[in-house]
Amino acid sequence: DSGVTQTPKHLITATGQRVTLRCSPRSGDLSVYWYQQSLDQGLQFLIQYYNGEERAKGNILERFSAQQFPDLHSELNLSSLELGDSALYFCASSSQGTSNQPQHFGDGTRLSIL
Amino acid sequence: QQQVKQSPQSLIVQKGGISIINCAYENTAFDYFPWYQQFPGKGPALLIAIRPDVSEKKEGRFTISFNKSAKQFSLHIMDSQPGDSATYFCAARNTGNQFYFGTGTSLTVIP
């Protein structure tokens, strides 16, 4: 058990809808990372937050947004969903803002767009 | 454009053999190279990582070899065990703290 909790585990919705994925980092970790894993694109880094502030940005679409709250949990919001957004979304946490610290991954949220 | 190229896509090794997975990159701004292991239904787990000022790092049966001039790095799993059967990802981080992953290698270790 990595100590990172992601909810929900599965999410099924329709095109055009909006969903929110939630991540609780390991106790004491200040940094949260979001990743998308799909069959055709592999594992893609989306965005990183450190202690409530955006730290690094990857291949995150404009339809997607994230935030980290004062209690350090994070949410990834996906809107105007398209079939191609179907994927596994992972959250990872680390103790500091630099990623030389190990990232601990949750078990992911599987998003299916019908 | 794939920033980190990983091969092979799949690998079958006999128990006790050596598993070798290779990665190559172009961006000289990468400064940290982790390897992750992922089991079905689970998130990736950090296995071992290396910085470009080191040519080799060993942790137990796992070794990273790093060739800075060739912009290549590889994971060697010695004495491979059936429990090592998983998907392995190499990754690289740039100075902007952005991560790029290889496409993964599915390793099967046959008893």
Q: Is B104 on the interface with A (CB under 8 A)?
A: yes
CB-based contact, B29 to chain A, within 8 Å: no
DSSP classification of residue B29: T
Please give the pLDDT value at position A40: 76
Q: What is the pLDDT of residues A49-102, one digit of tens each?
A: 999 999 999 989 999 999 999 999 999 999 999 999 999 999 999 987 665 678
Q: Are A109 and A12 in contact (CB under 8 A)?
A: no
Q: What is the pLDDT of residue B95?
A: 82
User: Considering only CB atoms, which chain B residues are within 8 Å of A3?
Assistant: none
Chain A residues bordering chain B (beta-carbon distance below 8 Å): 2, 4, 33, 42-45, 48, 55-58, 90, 92, 97-100, 102-108
- The CA distance from B62 to A97, in Å, is 27
Q: Which helix (H) or strand (E) holds B49?
A: strand B45-50
What gap in Å lies between CA A51 and CA A96, rounded to an integer?
Answer: 9
Q: How far is CA B75 from CA B8, B18, B20, B70, B110, in A?
A: 12, 10, 6, 15, 19
Distance from the B99 Cα atom to the nearest Cα atom in chain A, whole angstroms: 6
CA dihedral (B52, B54, B59, B65) in degrees, to 10, reads 70
Q: What are B79-94's pLDDT values in tens digits?
A: 999 999 999 999 998 8
Question: Three-class SS of residue A85?
Answer: helix
- Local confidence band at B57 (pLDDT 50, 70, 90 cut-offs): very high
- Tell me the chain A residues in contact with residue B43 when contact means C-beta distances shorter than 8 Å: 2, 4, 90, 92, 105-108
B101 at A interface, C-beta within 8 A: yes
